[in-house]
Amino acid sequence: MQYKIAIVGEKDTVYAFGMLGMNVFYTTDAKQGRQVVKDIIKDDYGVIFITENLAQQIPDIIKKYDDEFMPAFILIPSDYNSESIGLQRVQENVQKAVGQNIL
Looking at the predicted structure, is the pLDDT value of residue 39 above 90? Answer: yes
**Neighbouring C-beta atoms of residue 94, cutoff 10 Å:** 14
Instruction: Annotate the chain with DSSP letters as a single string.
Output: -PPEEEEEE-HHHHGGGGGGT-EEEE---HHHHHHHHHHHHHTTEEEEEEEHHHHHH-HHHHHHTTTSSSSEEEEE--SS----HHHHHHHHHHHHHHSS---
Q: Are 48 and 73 in contact (CB under 8 A)?
A: yes
Looking at the predicted structure, is the pLDDT value of residue 81 above 60? Answer: no
Which distant-in-sequence residues (6+ apart) come within 8 Å of 24 by Cβ?
6, 7, 8, 14, 15, 17, 18
Task: Please state the pTM of the whole predicted model.
Answer: 0.76
Looking at the predicted structure, is the pLDDT value of residue 102 above 90? Answer: no
pLDDT value of position 1: 67
Report which of residues 69 and 31 the model is more confident about. 31
**In terms of residues, how long is the chain?**
103
Quick: pLDDT tens for 48-78.
Answer: 999 988 988 999 998 998 888 889 888 888 7
